[in-house]
């Protein structure tokens, strides 16, 4: 038997052991009579251990295993956007065509349509020096995104030929003097980070339109965030909100081991939702990976790598990319399942000992970089975490929190009260504000950081006062503290709460967020004055204009009206003094 093909020795769920071949680690192999796709994950004496990306029932010992010589890679080029893939970059639409509505197995599908022709516009000329990452031409991939065709990393030289025109992605569009032929498509092994020149410190916020995120716990472009929370607390809605409204140029959304319907929802909605930054459908900038909970676990394990490699590729073009992974816990569980089939020594809670290093390696692929081509690009990574029982002392949450710089902690108690987003404002944190403050001062308002500090300290004070209230009731507090409680209630109900399903409330521009925060502080100041002048707490709290100001946020054109509403409120509050 040749080295190129061997035989199956054992099958245990998604893990197959082969003998008679000596492949490389992470090499892709074809397993069994149906040629199921698998990847070598362990070499063990005579045996090669393979994780198989498709269902293995019916496969028998003695069936063939064939090497491909390739490592698990993705195809990168025009056609990635608007696509929805499974964990190993098979377009789900193609799978539907060949298999029908149920995913069976043994079918290959290319990650990019190899026959589709794209209009390529060269941007270099014969004689130009190019190297890995240099942009050699442009394809208008979707209405809003131009796909910048790059020299693959590791290649360089003088351009000896280049042509514009209509080509498919495998046709050579450019040759270098050493004979290197460059097509619009390149391939890249998913488990290897794509190279860049250097990482730069993130100093621009990723604006999400979500008030609690942007204002209190901001994420920087190129930063990392973790969203742990029990089921039903809002991980998916938050991730989807980011995919909808964040001001990234490219979005990669990975549904990793979660619900089928959630992916369908994104798929049906995004082509009709408009990107607030371009006014065009959100789908134009989006690539989705869907390896749902009932799809093979090995492909779930791979899905995260497939996604981040695509994200890095767009980063290399000089774009700001945001990647959401929902949920990284399901990825970790896939690792655990495979590891236990390998009979590896388990670490904490049965997870493999390498769990935390895999998590770190993944988040390390985020960052703002100077690209090989000399541009500025970023990948921001936002990972949902699903801790069992909502208890974040478990390994995946802990492994994540050690790495990420932003922690959006979801709270079951808030979700039960339908306080959404159910992000706990006391336990959450962001390590970015310092790096971003200059940007806020320059772009939004010179006192933005101070306003933020005031708002968060009011929430802190409220938490302390609430402890007393629990013992004695709010009426027992002095008037000024009762006012503080009302101001804090206003922060929670008017500012922090934000309904993702409300057409208007779903998204707030950063300057409006700032105006709203200022309005709350104005309420506080005016009320203090009025109360010093004899007005009662009930009087100031109940001025009708305050209700109008708060309810107004659900109405179109709020940004234009808030100033006027605020003026009315101040006037009415001042008026309460005269009534007394």
Ligand X SMILES: Nc1ncnc2c1ncn2[C@@H]1O[C@H](COP(=O)(O)OP(=O)(O)O)[C@@H](O)[C@H]1O
Q: Looking only at residues 394 through 423 of this chain, which bind ligand X when binding is defined by CB under 6 A?
A: 420-421
Task: Report, in Å, the least distance between residue 415 CB and ligand X.
Answer: 6
For another protein, the closer of residues 184 and 295 by Cβ is 295
Is residue 388 involved in binding another protein (CB under 8 A)?
yes
Mapped onto helix, strand or coil, the DSSP state of residue 105 is coil
Please check whether residue 234 is in contact with residue 422, taking contact to mean a CB–CB distance below 8 angstroms: yes
Is residue 56 involved in binding another protein (CB under 8 A)?
yes
Nearest to 407 by CA among 439, 434, 383: 383
For another protein, the closer of residues 44 and 418 by Cβ is 418
Stretch that binds ligand X, among 227-235, 287-295, 442-450, 466-474 (CB under 6 A): 227-235
The CA-CA-CA angle for residues 353, 356, 361, to 5°, reads 125
Please check whether residue 131 is in contact with residue 155, taking contact to mean a CB–CB distance below 8 angstroms: yes
Pair of tokens at residue 251: 């979005």
Determine which residue in the list 66, 99, 138, 237 makes contact with ligand X, applying CB under 6 A: 237
Please check whether residue 235 is in contact with residue 384, taking contact to mean a CB–CB distance below 8 angstroms: yes
Taking the CA atoms of the chain, what radius of gyration do you get in angstroms? 27
Q: Which residues pair with 430 in a beta bridge?
A: 406
Q: How far is CA 355 from CA 162, 163, 358, 362, in A?
A: 46, 47, 5, 11
Stretch that binds ligand X, among 83-91, 231-239, 425-433, 564-572 (CB under 6 A): 231-239
Is residue 390 involved in binding another protein (CB under 8 A)?
yes
Return the residues of window 486-505 that contact ligand X according to CB under 6 A.
498-501
Return the residues of window 100-139 that contact another protein according to CB under 8 A.
100-104
Determine which residue in the list 91, 202, 228, 229 makes contact with ligand X, applying CB under 6 A: 229
Return the residues of window 504-543 that contact another protein according to CB under 8 A.
538, 542
Task: Report, in Å, the least distance between residue 129 CB and ligand X.
Answer: 49
Determine which residue in the list 22, 164, 192, 417 makes contact with another protein, applying CB under 8 A: 417
Stretch that binds another protein, among 196-204, 307-315, 346-354, 364-372 (CB under 8 A): 346-354
Binding mask 192-231 for Mg ion (x = CB under 5 A): ----------------------------------------
For ligand X, the closer of residues 231 and 354 by Cβ is 231
The full length of the chain comes to 580
Nearest to 294 by CA among 328, 326, 260: 260
Is residue 579 involved in binding another protein (CB under 8 A)?
no
Determine which residue in the list 166, 501, 557, 560 makes contact with another protein, applying CB under 8 A: 501
The CA-CA-CA angle for residues 265, 266, 269, to 5°, reads 80
The gap from C-alpha 178 to its chain's centroid, in whole angstroms, comes to 40
DSSP 8-class letter at 195: P
For ligand X, the closer of residues 20 and 234 by Cβ is 234
Pair of tokens at residue 237: 């809605």
Stretch that binds Mg ion, among 130-138, 233-241, 368-376, 426-434 (CB under 5 A): 233-241
DSSP 8-class letter at 363: H
Q: What gap in Å lies between CA 267 and CA 396, rounded to an integer?
A: 29
Element (H, E) at 575: helix 558-579
Q: What gap in Å lies between CA 381 and CA 199, rounded to an integer?
A: 15
Return the residues of window 325-344 that contact another protein according to CB under 8 A.
330, 333, 336-337, 340
Provide the greatest CA pair distance for the chain: 100
Is residue 209 involved in binding ligand X (CB under 6 A)?
no
Q: Which parts of this chain interact with ligand X (CB under 6 A)? A: 229, 231-237, 420-421, 498-501
């Amino acid at each position: 038997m040749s080295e190129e093909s061997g035989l199956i020795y054992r099958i245990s769920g998604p893990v197959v052991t082969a003998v008679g071949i000596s492949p490389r680690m992470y090499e892709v192999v074809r397993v069994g009579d149906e040629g199921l796709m698998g990847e070598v994950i362990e070499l063990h004496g005579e045996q090669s251990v393979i994780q198989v990306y498709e269902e293995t029932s019916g496969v028998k010992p003695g069936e063939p295993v064939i090497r491909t010589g390739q490592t698990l890679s993705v195809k990168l080029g025009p056609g990635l956007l608007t696509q929805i893939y499974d964990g190993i970059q098979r377009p789900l639409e193609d799978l539907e065509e060949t298999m029908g509505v149920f995913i069976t197995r043994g079918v290959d599908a290319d990650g990019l349509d190899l026959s589709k022709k794209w209009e390529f516009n060269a941007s270099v000329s014969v004689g130009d020096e190019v190297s890995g990452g240099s942009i050699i031409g442009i394809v208008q991939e979707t209405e809003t995104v131009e796909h910048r065709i790059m020299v693959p990393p590791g290649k360089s030289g003088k351009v000896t030929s280049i042509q514009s025109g209509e080509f498919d992605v495998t046709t050579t569009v450019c040759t270098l003097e050493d004979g290197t032929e460059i097509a619009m498509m390149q391939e890249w092994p998913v488990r290897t980070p794509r190279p860049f020149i250097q990482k730069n410190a993130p100093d621009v916020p990723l604006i999400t339109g979500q008030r609690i995120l942007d204002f209190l716990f901001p994420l920087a472009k190129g930063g990392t965030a973790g969203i742990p929370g029990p089921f039903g607390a809002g991980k998916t809605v938050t991730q989807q909100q980011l995919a909808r409204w964040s001001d990234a140029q490219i979005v990669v959304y990975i549904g990793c081991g979660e619900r089928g319907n959630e992916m369908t929802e994104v798929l049906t909605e995004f082509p009709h939702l408009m990107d607030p930054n371009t006014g065009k459908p959100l789908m134009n900038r989006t690539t989705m990976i869907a390896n749902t909970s009932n799809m093979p676990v090995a492909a779930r394990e791979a899905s995260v790598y497939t996604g981040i490699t695509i994200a890095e590729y767009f980063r290399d073009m000089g774009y700001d990319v945001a990647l959401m992974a929902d949920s990284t816990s399901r990825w970790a569980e896939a690792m655990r399942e495979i590891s236990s089939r390998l009979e590896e020594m388990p670490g904490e809670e049965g997870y493999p000992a390498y769990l935390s290093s895999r998590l770190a390696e993944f988040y390390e692929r985020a960052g703002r970089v100077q690209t090989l081509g000399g541009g500025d690009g970023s990948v921001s990574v936002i990972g949902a975490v699903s801790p069992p029982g909502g208890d974040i002392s478990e390994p995946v949450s802990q492994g994540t929190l050690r790495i990420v710089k932003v922690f959006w902690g979801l709270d079951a108690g808030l979700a039960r009260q339908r306080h959404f987003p159910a992000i706990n404002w006391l336990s959450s944190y962001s390590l970015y504000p310092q790096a971003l403050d200059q940007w806020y001062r320059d772009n939004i308002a010179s006192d933005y950081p101070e306003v933020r500090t005031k708002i968060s300290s009011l929430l802190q004070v409220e938490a302390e006062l609430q402890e007393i209230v629990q013992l004695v009731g709010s009426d027992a507090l002095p008037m000024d503290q009762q006012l503080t409680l009302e101001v804090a209630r206003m922060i929670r109900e008017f500012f922090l709460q934000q309904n993702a399903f409300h057409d208007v409330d779903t998204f707030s521009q950063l300057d409006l967020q700032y105006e709203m925060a200022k309005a709350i502080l104005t309420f506080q100041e005016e009320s203090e004055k009025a109360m010093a002048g004899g007005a009662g707490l009930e009087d100031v709290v109940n001025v009708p204009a305050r209700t109008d100001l708060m309810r107004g946020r659900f109405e179109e054109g709020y940004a234009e009206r808030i100033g006027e509403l605020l003026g009315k409120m101040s006037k009415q509050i001042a008026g309460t003094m005269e009534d007394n």
